[in-house]
């Protein structure tokens, strides 16, 4: 029997302060998340300075709780993993500084993790048998990528958004409809009460890049519809608008993903990122995959949105490859995956 590898991981890239303990990259021993949603809600979006301050206030408690729930002391883990980008610089710095201090103090190795890679790795926690290669659709607040994952760290970009990320579009449209922050879950809920065929928005085609996405035109179309209705004194049902907007996003994400899986000869699709929690997207991909006899991998919604468990999984696989970060590890707000 090989020795278990335990990773304590931290995630503070945006508005969740999170810490988890992961065994062998696949098993969650604890997964603690302190969400700042209630704090940012009154501003209608994440305020970076407030996020940083709240991370400072919470990070120690969250780490203590994660170790307690795992029944471990810091010195019993094998390494400390931490998100060092992409994300908000001040927010990332809290996690990176805390992770460095803990690793240095306990004499443990430090492993910096790319947040987007973490999102993909959430699938390894949900599906112990899953291994690359596969095609992944990564849809978060800042990223929309169709990517061929040949191995961990070996990526080939198939398609990406040319403007807004899918989650960003959800957030902006939710604000315009008056649903508030965070937009994704609010639109998801409103759409369930609405008619998804009440409005049809034309699809923006991205020239010469069949797998790329563009969501800013759709967002403008929704805004124009709202402004026009306001001018002529017409009432638009926000649930219908939410459902129709969501249908547009879901359709294009589904079509491009199915095309990519077919074109590149895979028999499954891996879904990741905060927008992967969207019920309509999950349903649409489930149906599309079933029709084509493909397998869909989608983590439970709590592992799709930001958490440290996924960072622990990514850190484990990096650690096993012998990767270690130096004490000069810094926050990289625009860290790329490719
Ligand atoms: O991955 P994530 O938690 O943070 C980033 O790395 O960006 O993604 C956050 C994004 C936000 O834009 C949020 O509105 C969206 O994911 N989101 C959703 C849902 N839950 C979160 N979008 C659509 N439907 C949801 N249920
Ligand atoms: Zn994220």
pLDDT number for residue 333: 98
pLDDT number for residue 121: 98
- Give the range among 67-71, 185-189, 334-338 with minimum mean pLDDT: 334-338
Cα of 317 from ligand 2 centre, angstroms: 19
Cα of 170 from ligand 1 centre, angstroms: 8
Task: Decide: pTM greater than 0.85.
Answer: yes
Binned at pLDDT 50, 70 and 90, residue 208 comes out as: confident
Q: Whose CA is nearest to atom 22 of ligand 1?
A: 184
Q: Give the closest residue to 134 by CA, choosing from 118, 116, 121.
A: 121
pLDDT number for residue 206: 82
Question: Of the bound ligands, which one is closest to the alpha carbon of residue 301?
Answer: 1
Q: Give the closest residue to 286 by CA, choosing from 310, 265, 268, 301.
A: 268
Q: What is the mean pLDDT of residues 272-297?
A: 98
Choice from 46, 138, 140 to test ligand 1 binding pocket (greatest atom count within 8 A of CB): 140
- How many other CB atoms are found less than 10 A from the CB of residue 285? 24
Cβ of 299 closer than 6 Å to ligand 1, yes or no, is no
- Give the range among 42-46, 119-123, 146-150, 242-246 with minimum mean pLDDT: 42-46
pLDDT in tens, 214-236: 999 999 999 999 999 999 999 99
Q: Are 13 and 115 in contact (CB under 8 A)?
A: yes
At residue 204, does pLDDT exceed 80?
Answer: no
At residue 107, does pLDDT exceed 80?
Answer: yes
Q: What is the mean pLDDT of residues 63-78?
A: 98
Q: What is the dihedral of CA 191, 195, 200, 201, to 10 degrees?
A: -10
Residues with CB under 5 A from ligand 2 (ion): 140, 306
Q: What is the mean pLDDT of residues 158-182?
A: 95
Atom of ligand 1 nearest to the CA of 167: 12
87: left (phi over 0), alpha (psi -120 to 50) or beta: left
Measured between alpha carbons, how far is 13 from 190 in angstroms, rounded to an integer? Answer: 28
Cα of 16 from ligand 2 centre, angstroms: 9
pLDDT number for residue 338: 85
pLDDT number for residue 82: 99
């Amino acid at each position: 029997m090989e020795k278990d590898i335990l990773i304590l991981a931290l995630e503070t890239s945006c508005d969740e302060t999170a810490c988890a303990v992961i065994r062998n990259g696949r098993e969650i021993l604890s997964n603690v998340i302190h969400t700042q949603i209630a704090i940012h809600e009154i501003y209608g979006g994440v305020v970076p300075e407030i996020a940083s301050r709240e991370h400072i206030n919470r990070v120690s408690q969250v780490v203590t709780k994660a170790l307690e729930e795992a029944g471990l002391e810091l010195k019993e883990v094998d390494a400390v993993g931490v998100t060092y980008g992409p994300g908000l610089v001040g927010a990332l710095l809290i996690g990176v500084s805390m992770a460095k201090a803990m690793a240095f103090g306990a004499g443990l190795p430090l492993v910096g993790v790319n947040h987007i890679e973490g999102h993909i790795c959430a699938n390894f926690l949900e599906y112990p048998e899953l291994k690359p290669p596969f095609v992944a659709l990564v849809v978060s607040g800042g990223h929309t990528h169709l990517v061929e994952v040949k191995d961990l760290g070996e990526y080939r970009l198939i398609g990406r958004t040319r403007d807004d990320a899918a989650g960003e579009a959800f957030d902006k449209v939710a604000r315009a409809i008056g649903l508030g922050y965070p937009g994704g879950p609010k639109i998801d809920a409103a759409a369930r009460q609405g008619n998804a065929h009440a409005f049809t928005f034309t699809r923006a085609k991205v020239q010469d890049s069949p797998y790329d996405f563009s969501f800013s035109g759709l967002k403008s179309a929704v805004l124009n519809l709202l402004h026009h209705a306001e001018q002529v004194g017409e009432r638009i049902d926000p649930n219908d608008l939410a459902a129709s907007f969501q249908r547009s996003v879901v359709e294009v994400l589904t079509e491009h993903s199915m095309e990519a899986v077919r074109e590149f000869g895979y028999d499954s699709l891996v879904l990741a990122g905060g927008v992967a929690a969207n019920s309509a997207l999950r349903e649409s991909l489930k149906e599309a995959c079933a029709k084509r006899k493909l397998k869909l991998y989608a983590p439970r919604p709590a592992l799709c949105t930001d958490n440290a468990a996924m960072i622990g999984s990514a850190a484990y696989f990096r650690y096993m490859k012998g990767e270690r970060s130096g004490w000069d590890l810094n926050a990289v707000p625009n860290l790329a995956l490719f």
